Amino acid sequence: MTIRLLSAALGAVLAVSGAVSAQGLVPEAQVPTGQFTTAVEVRPILQATRANWIAVREYEGKDLLYVTHLMSWRCGLAQLRLSINGGPFQDWALPPCHMGTNAPNAITENDGPIYIEGPLGAVQSVVVEITYDDLQVETAEFTRPQVLMP
């Protein structure tokens, strides 16, 4: 039941944000911009901060699964996918970067959700798969104790 609820919550987030599948991804040129908008720039940061890719927060009787850190470095990513509790991978739509601004990776109120919610205790494990914009893929697996916020 909890897996279905989380899956439904993630599905709702993805429907609202307009997720697309990995089909048709094309590698982007890897010219450093100095604004952390390419895989060559964000990969070292995301590799060094892998433990912070996601977080789970218990709040008002619910689990909130955050992807804020990955959203903050999304300009070098082509895709974000999550598998919760061994369920199927689902795409999490990444909003466009704010190119032409001094902070292209900024998260604005129009960029969609940074978390999904489920019943308290529902999130026991999460596998995160990121595809960089050069189409290299990295995966990380987390258990609840590893990502539970105090």
Average pLDDT by consecutive 10-residue portion of the chain (150 residues)?
A: 53 45 71 81 97 98 98 96 98 94 95 97 98 96 98
State the pLDDT at residue 4: 52
Tell me the CB-side half-sphere exposure of residue 109, using CA atoms within 13 A: 0
**Residue 34 per-residue DSSP state:** S
What range defines the domain where residue 15 resides?
A: 2-21+28-147
Considering its fold, how many domains does the chain have in total? Answer: 1
Residue 54 has a CB neighbour count (10 Å cut-off) of 20
| Contact call for residues 54 and 46 (beta carbons, < 8 A) | no
| Burial letters 23-33, b for 16+ CB under 10 A, else e | eeeeebeeeee
